[in-house]
Structure 1
């Protein structure tokens, strides 16, 4: 074998090893991110008494009262502040069996929560496209325990109701309710109600390469109150780094603003990112990268996500969430 051929084989072999090592490293960081980007509820404590399904519930500032029996089966949603939004179509407010009420998860004002999507202000055509992707199996929403909900809902909702829901949410004004804070330390957390919740006692730990997004009031979160919000802790320097990636790209990845528009406010049917949950944004980037979003419209983002490390995703999400919509 000639020296030239030997050198070519050596370089080629080294390139393959480096590529494999890069993939292994990236897979490892994605597996680590699953714990905070795709939180799963722990098994229920068998010693916890069942909730009182008929106890009157209230939230600050609302004159309304609900019980868990009225909405816990997901065929309804507490509408504490009906003056904050237009009248909801039936599919949004109460569902149409077997389809659940959209507002149960995404809330009457479409703001959503870190474990799902904020629908307010998204293009109606985009919402319809995504529901149909769930229906066809071309879009997933996370781990097996959570990935069953939206595909089931997408199969159960009729096309007429889908158009009504998409039109309703698209006309709502999205109002950011996640405050982004750069911090080297974060509250220690546990998982409750499909999201991170701060531990009692106020203990803190290093943030590492994570986003820690928590409710400012978990009790009001579970009552589906729509007049408070969330805090997202991000690593120091993330917002500035994300601004550079959004404006100029990084490596082979294009600038986010080249598709999502200036300040990431969306263009046409390309969705806005500004002000939205950074946990949700990272989760979707991971799904793009790992094949969880494979419909035709996802192809450009699949290519872009392949060029992003977890650190890049966190930076872009931190910057996007810090922007005004």
Structure 2
């Protein structure tokens, strides 16, 4: 390649940098400061002790940011979360997501007997949610989540109260016992 061609590419690259909007990285510290509003339900460390509320610690930033945007737009309904997300800017959502994603996930536990049965049935979840249900990109971390919360969400997908991706179809054939067992296993991870 000629020296002139290399110079052209270099100049083009520099100019492209000047005219491309800067996409800032998330500010974990700003997310931590903003997260105090989340602590009442999701815990100070993102590992809620209340099974009504999901654990946010260790979720992927992409998933968390997408969920906050869905609550803000009304695409995902929860009066409480819609109210909380309404005042968040895109930057706030990005920072909160990065903060919670940076925290270590913790296991919520689960009934050992139910978990044994659930382990045999969880394979269908792992294709999207990762080999250890640790989450993957837009797919949430299921490992360590409260079994009661997981069961509530699976039932909401099954009944069409919650929509998204293949979850409606995946949950349609699950019995109430399947849901208990799968939720217990995932919570135990």
Match of 1:266 among 132, 135, 138: 135
Q: Show the counterpart of 2:88.
A: 157
Query: How far apart are residue 154 of structure 1 and its match?
Result: 1.7
Following superposition, which runs of at least 4 residues in structure 1 exceed 4 angstroms of deviation?
A: none
Task: Say whether the 8 Å CA contact 1:287–1:293 is kept in structure 2.
Answer: yes
Compare the two structures and name the one with the higher strand fraction: 1
- Secondary structure of the residue aligned to 2:110 is strand
Corresponding residue for 2:121? 245
1:127 maps to which of 64, 87, 92:
64
RMSD over aligned CA atoms reads 2.1
Between the two proteins, the alignment pairs up a number of residues equal to 161
Q: Deviations over 1:220-275 (max 9, x none)?
A: xxxxxxxxxxxxxxxx4x2222111112xxxxxxx112222223222333222112
1:103-182 pair list within 5 angstroms: 103-112=39-48, 113-140=50-77, 147-176=78-107, 178-182=108-112
Counterpart residue number, 1:214: none
**Residue of structure 2 in register with 1:316 after alignment:** 182
Higher RCO, 1 vs 2 (CA within 8 Å, ≥6 residues apart) = 2
Distance 2:161 2:97 in 1: 22
- In the TM superposition, residue 88 of structure 1 has moved relative to its aligned partner by 5.6
TM-score where L is the length of structure 1: 0.46
Distance in 2 separating the partners of 1:139 and 1:290: 15
Residues 110 and 118 of structure 1 are in contact (CA less than 8 Å); yes or no, is this contact kept in structure 2? yes
Report which of the two has the higher share of helix. Answer: 2
Distance 2:76 2:31 in 1: 26
TM-score, normalising length from structure 2? 0.76
Q: Is the contact between residue 134 and residue 154 of structure 1 (CA under 8 Å) also seen in structure 2?
A: yes
CA distance, structure 1, for counterparts of residue 172 and residue 184 of structure 2:
19
Check if 1:91 corresponds to 2:34.
yes
Determine the structure 1 residue equivalent to 2:20.
none
1:23-38 matched pairs, under 5 angstroms = none
Asked which structure has the greater CA Rg, the reply is 1
Give me the whole-angstrom Cα distance separating, in 1, the residues matched to 2:62 and 2:126.
Answer: 21
Distance 2:32 2:134 in 1: 26
